[in-house]
Amino acid sequence: MRTTSLVIAFAASLLFIPQSQAQTSATGFPKGELSNAKNHTGNIWLSELNVGDSTFDPSIAMATYDAGAKLDWHIHPGGQVLLITEGTGYYQERGKPARIVHKGDVIKCAPGVEHWHGATPNDTFAYIAVTPTAKGKTIWLEPVSDKDYKSVK
Amino acid sequence: MRTTSLVIAFAASLLFIPQSQAQTSATGFPKGELSNAKNHTGNIWLSELNVGDSTFDPSIAMATYDAGAKLDWHIHPGGQVLLITEGTGYYQERGKPARIVHKGDVIKCAPGVEHWHGATPNDTFAYIAVTPTAKGKTIWLEPVSDKDYKSVK
């Protein structure tokens, strides 16, 4: 009986190896640096995969959020596509209800639309963002209110 | 003893669940459709994540290769960035030696450069390709020779 318990404990410990590896590096790209920018609340890591320039326009970057972390409201003059690679997050455009987004979702944010995105309160969240830069840099607005953050159903 | 064996067999079967999930869908995006295009040899699945258009230029697509599958030589008039998400592949620009690329690598192919990419003989290969479309569609050239494919060291 004791042998059986040990086998179960050993097998259970092995079970968590692939899962934890998938959570820390599902895409294989580096998690990057902890952001010290003023345009978010909570911890967000940023990993630049391609600098947008005149030869090849879109900026490509991975962002990884601690549970509860969120960006302020903002606008992309050239739009943005988010490829969700880990966890569960919120996405909201001004005047619309916030919605829950998951790993495997593709979010298309049209040029000029005020919006925010962030992690849910109890799960990490990561995406690869593709952001054309030729029409201008991101315009940052006010922080997301607790009312908006807690409004998601 | 028989109970212990059953516990080991059950635990071993569980162990493969997270690993097989990671292999078939590391990014979470659908594998897409098997390509019937004439511009490659071997099986390649294509999953369109964003259509490039005048509102948001870059096309974004995931490609998944069986071991040994490879594209023909080709040119992107607007360049391309490949985000390698699974496995091991080859990448070669005309006049340069082919090189081995891995999950987590970012490959930047400049506009107008003749090149090819594909899976290694014994490993699958997948990437997300970001391809600006405003400067023109991909120009396809000749298939990759066995000499070039086997030249990688």
Nearest to A49 among B14, B22, B83 (CB): B83
The two three-digit tokens of residue A76, written as one number: 């992309």
Of B4 and B20, more confident? B4
Are B14 and A19 an interchain contact pair (Cβ–Cβ within 8 Å)?
A: no
Summarize pLDDT for B26-84 with one digit per residue, the tens.
789 999 999 999 999 999 999 999 999 888 999 999 999 999 999 999 999 999 999 99
Local confidence band at A153 (pLDDT 50, 70, 90 cut-offs): confident
Residue of B12, B104, B64 lying closest to A24 (CA atoms): B104
pLDDT for A47 equals: 96
Are B26 and A29 an interchain contact pair (Cβ–Cβ within 8 Å)?
A: no
Buried b (16+ CB within 10 A) or exposed e, B67-84: bbbbbbbbbbbbbbbbbb
> Nearest 5 degrees, angle CA A130-CA A84-CA A74?
55
d(CA A121, CA A92): 15
Closest residue in B to A11 (Cα) is B11
d(CA B117, CA A91): 35
Task: Please give, rounded to a whole number of angstroms, the shortest distance from the CA of A27 to a CA of chain B.
Answer: 6
Reduced to 3 states (helix: H, G, I; strand: E, B; else coil), residue B6 is: helix
Task: Please give, rounded to a whole number of angstroms, the shortest distance from the CA of B112 to a CA of chain A.
Answer: 11
Task: Please give, rounded to a whole number of angstroms, the shortest distance from the CA of B145 to a CA of chain A.
Answer: 29
For CA atoms A63, A67, A73, A79, the dihedral sign is positive
Q: Which domains does chain A have, with CATH numbers?
A: 2-149 (2.60.120.10)
Instruction: Answer yes or no: is the ipTM higher than 0.85.
Output: no
Q: How many CA atoms lie within 13 A of B126 on its CB side?
A: 22
Least confident range of A51-60, A64-73, A112-121, B71-80: A51-60
Window B:76-135, CB contacts with A under 8 Å: 78-79, 81, 83-86, 102-104, 106, 108, 110-111, 128, 130, 132
Report the run of H or E that residue A148 belongs to, with start and end.
helix A146-149
Summarize pLDDT for B76-128 with one digit per residue, the tens.
999 999 999 999 999 999 999 999 999 999 999 999 999 999 999 999 999 99
B116, B71 Cβ separation under 8 angstroms: yes
pTM of the model: 0.83
Are A15 and B14 an interchain contact pair (Cβ–Cβ within 8 Å)?
A: yes
Buried b (16+ CB within 10 A) or exposed e, A115-137: bbbbbbeebbbbbbbbbbbeeee
